[in-house]
Amino acid sequence: MGLSQHKSDEESISVVQTALRLGVNFIDTAEAYGTESRIGDGLIGTQRDAVVLSSKYSLHHGDGLRPPAQLELSVDASLRRLKTDYIDVYHLHAVKIEDYPFAVDHLVPELIKMRDKGKIRFLGITEAFAADPSHILLETAVEDDCWDVIMVGFNLLNQSARDKVLRRSIEKNLGVLDMFAVRRALAGSQVLLEFLNDMVLRGLIAPDALDQTDPLGFLLHSGVVSSVPDAAYRFVRHEPGIHVVLSGTGSVEHLIANVKSANRGPLPPEVIAHLRQVFAAVDSVSGN
């Protein structure tokens, strides 16, 4: 999504090509992001099977659900924009629990047709994490056998997916994409402070669990991490059951920093244990 935010075509293509040079081999987009064409341009000259492409279909248009016949039209439009003849993972995008029966009964059969035609390879579904931080949708979806891949919100502030989603996804051998690894709360110290103070007031974390003036300062002062985002990416990168950590960006510099974090290895076991303990009761915030 970051490629759509005030970036020229040239800047966006540079981000894609830099990612490929750095070893990134999974690129996620969506029709709603408006970035498919830029990604397609950035992939020109790249061996197609060297990259896993992921895109998404929005269920709603205006106030209503889109008819099932729209799905193949959207797949075809995404293929044109991405300049490819197949999409590796095609998701139903930000599905709400009240729309899930429609998705299973009417859209999954259409996805299977697209798979049989070779237009997509695997069926995916993503939750609307900001609106559903306790994973009501995915707790239901993970029990159905039609999905190959799920996209879940999981970060060091809200780790509830570990028990609610990931335990089952591991048992069922589902591919898992993690979103919201870093959002507003983990990108700036003042916003983080506001989030944590609110969680203390709501009884989600103990008042004495963290330094109220510098809540995650223990990470930085120890020299274990270079920044809070560095800690956040490394925390989710090594969570059992998570296979891809998504990082939205339109900046080459930001991309390079995030790749460095992903390559630094896991946080020390005692730090992970402490973060698990502090945020164990949180399941109602996304960090956005």
Angle between helices 9-21 and 252-263 (to 10 degrees): 20
Instruction: Please answer whether residues 26 and 244 qualify as being in contact, where contact means their C-beta atoms are separated by less than 8 angstroms.
Output: yes
> What residue spans define the domains of the chain?
2-278
Q: Find the range with the poorest average confidence among 9-23, 132-146, 162-176, 197-211.
A: 197-211
Tell me what the mean pLDDT of segment 71-95 comes to: 98
What helix, strand, coil percent values describe the chain, rounded to 5?
A: 45, 15, 40
Task: Summarize pLDDT for 226-252 with one digit per residue, the tens.
Answer: 999 999 999 999 999 999 999 988 899
The beta strands (E) that lie in the chain are given as: 26-28, 52-58, 60-61, 64-65, 87-95, 120-127, 149-153, 175-179, 244-245
Q: Find the range with the poorest average confidence among 101-110, 168-177, 279-288.
A: 279-288
pLDDT score of 136: 98
Q: 231: part of which helix (H) or strand (E)? A: helix 228-237
Mean of pLDDT over the chain: 93
Q: Which residues contact 199 (CB under 8 A, 6 or more apart)?
A: 157, 205, 282, 285
Integer Cα distance of 90 and 14 in angstroms: 25
Q: Which residues contact 277 (CB under 8 A, 6 or more apart)?
A: 209
Integer Cα distance of 115 and 107 in angstroms: 12
Burial class (CB in 10 A: 0-12, 13-18, 19+), 193: middle
- Looking at the domain covering 2-278, what would its CATH class be? alpha beta
pLDDT of 77 above 80: yes
Task: Summarize pLDDT for 20-43 with one digit per residue, the tens.
Answer: 999 999 999 999 999 999 999 999
Name the pLDDT band for 90 (thresholds 50, 70, 90). very high
Instruction: Please answer whether residues 17 and 42 qualify as being in contact, where contact means their C-beta atoms are separated by less than 8 angstroms.
Output: yes
Task: Summarize pLDDT for 111-127 with one digit per residue, the tens.
Answer: 999 999 999 999 999 99
255: DSSP letter: H
| Region for 78 from its dihedrals, namely left if φ exceeds 0, alpha if ψ lies in -120 to 50, beta otherwise | alpha
User: What are residue 122's DSSP bridge partners?
Assistant: 89
Q: What are phi and psi of 42, to 5 degrees?
A: -70, -20
Q: What are phi and psi of 145, to 5 degrees?
A: -95, 5
Output the CA torsion 62→68→70→76 (10° steps).
Answer: 140
Q: Is the Cα dihedral 38, 41, 47, 49 positive or negative? A: positive
**175-179, strands of its sheet edge to edge:** 26-28, 52-58, 87-95, 120-127, 149-153, 175-179, 244-245
- The two tokens of residue 20 are 């490929």
Cα within 13 Å of Cα(193), Cβ side? 8
